[in-house]
Amino acid sequence: MMTTFVERPNGCLSPVLLDPVLDDPESTRDMAQKNGPYFMPARYLVSDASAESAGDNSKQRNVEVPDYLIGPTWRGDWAVGARPLVDGVDHILEHQGFAEAARTICDAEVVVPEQVYVNLSTPMPGQGFSHTDLPEFIGIDRANAPGWLLQAMGASRLFEDARITILTAVAWFYQGERGFFRYWPNGRDADSIRHEDMWNTAVVGDNDYMHHQVERIGPAGVQKPDGLTIDSLLDYDGERWIVQEDGQTLLDYGDDEVRLSVSWKAKIYADEATRQAADAGHGKLDLEEVVARLADALGEPRPDSLQTALADVGFRNQLAARWSGYQAG
């Protein structure tokens, strides 16, 4: 079962723009300064632990990570599973404008806000890729599955009957140079749209299906800083944003140089009966079944155990090569 019954003839649903988003947008930057340190989201794609635990600060330096996934973007979770993790996030988690836009996009009755996270980016060239977000499924989600497995499940389209519809609002609180948001509302092969107003605006969209991308942040010619690893952290020291590793400061930036976006995610259900069925686990998947079906689709032997599969870097790389949420260009 899908939790909504909308068609996606262009590959994704049409987004809705909101302007303004908050009555006091400056407060969001204040919250960001108070709630570091922030981790690299690439950690979702290289750990055998659940996506929800990606920011636990465990060292990943011995894990092979593609260079394009190494910053300079950092993430922090502000609400998970509808549970606030930082003070002051309630007005974002419960934002009625986001919920109403999501309800309209999906022609659905039930919107359940689940997650709020922030992305902070320092000056960098434009991302050389677009991506879609990590999906969730009945029985398989960020709490019990690693991000790379969720990505393969979504991109493969093998598990759509158990997929949970999730819509995302991305709001920006940045007044520095550029940092535009590009998205493909009619499919990755169609024309894209550039959203340029990065202060207190939002795009509510089907980001688990709709490709999107961050353009250059900062002046022309800016380059990604050297020396970053997947373990590099970003924090605010009261005066400047600092990039740290093992307690050592590698770089520092003024507040106006750091691009801040806030993402709100909600699960969407056609009606209350559909929500109750999903919550009861009707049609749910389990991890052993998922791993077996993915191995079959790859034409590979089924792993001996779930633990073997999740720890197998070769299996992870095969999935990423076949079913990636990233697309160059």
* Residue at 309 is within a domain: no
pLDDT of residue 53: 86
CATH code of the domain in which 68 resides: 2.60.120
Specify the higher pLDDT residue, 6 or 268: 268
pLDDT of residue 1: 59
**Residue 329's pLDDT band (cuts 50, 70, 90):** confident
* Residue at 85 is within a domain: yes
* Residue at 7 is within a domain: no
DSSP output for 153-180: HHHHTTTGGGBPEEEEEEEEE--SSB--
Per-residue pLDDT of 15-69, as tens digits, reads: 999 999 999 999 999 999 999 999 999 888 888 888 888 777 666 656 778 788 8
The neighbouring-strand residues paired with 76 are: 118
- Kindly state the average pLDDT of the residues 156-171: 97
Query: Rounded to whole angstroms, how far apart are CA atoms 259 and 75?
Result: 12
Where in the sequence is the domain holding 189, given as residue range(s)?
16-286
Cβ neighbours of residue 147 closer than 8 Å, sequence gap 6 or more: 43, 44, 45, 47, 51, 54, 134
* Residue at 3 is within a domain: no
Share of the chain above pLDDT 70, in %: 98
Specify the higher pLDDT residue, 284 or 61: 284
Q: Compute CA 16 distance to the chain's CA centroid, rounded to the nearest angstrom.
A: 18
pLDDT of residue 61: 59
For residue 242, pLDDT over 70 is answered with yes
For residue 290, pLDDT over 90 is answered with yes
Q: Name the helix (H) or strand (E) containing 263.
A: strand 259-269
pLDDT of residue 49: 84
E strand spans, 41-183: 73-80, 83-84, 110-121, 129-131, 165-173, 181-183
Per-residue pLDDT of 167-205, as tens digits, reads: 999 999 999 999 999 999 999 999 999 999 999 999 999
The neighbouring-strand residues paired with 77 are: 117
* Residue at 114 is within a domain: yes
Domain count, the chain: 1
* Residue at 30 is within a domain: yes
Average pLDDT of every residue of the chain: 95
Query: Rounded to whole angstroms, how far apart are CA atoms 127 and 132?
Result: 13
* Residue at 89 is within a domain: yes
Query: Rounded to whole angstroms, how far apart are CA atoms 75 and 41?
Result: 6
Per-residue pLDDT of 71-127, as tens digits, reads: 899 999 999 999 999 999 999 999 999 999 999 999 999 999 999 999 999 999 999
**Residue 252's pLDDT band (cuts 50, 70, 90):** very high
- Kindly state the average pLDDT of the residues 268-289: 97
* Residue at 321 is within a domain: no
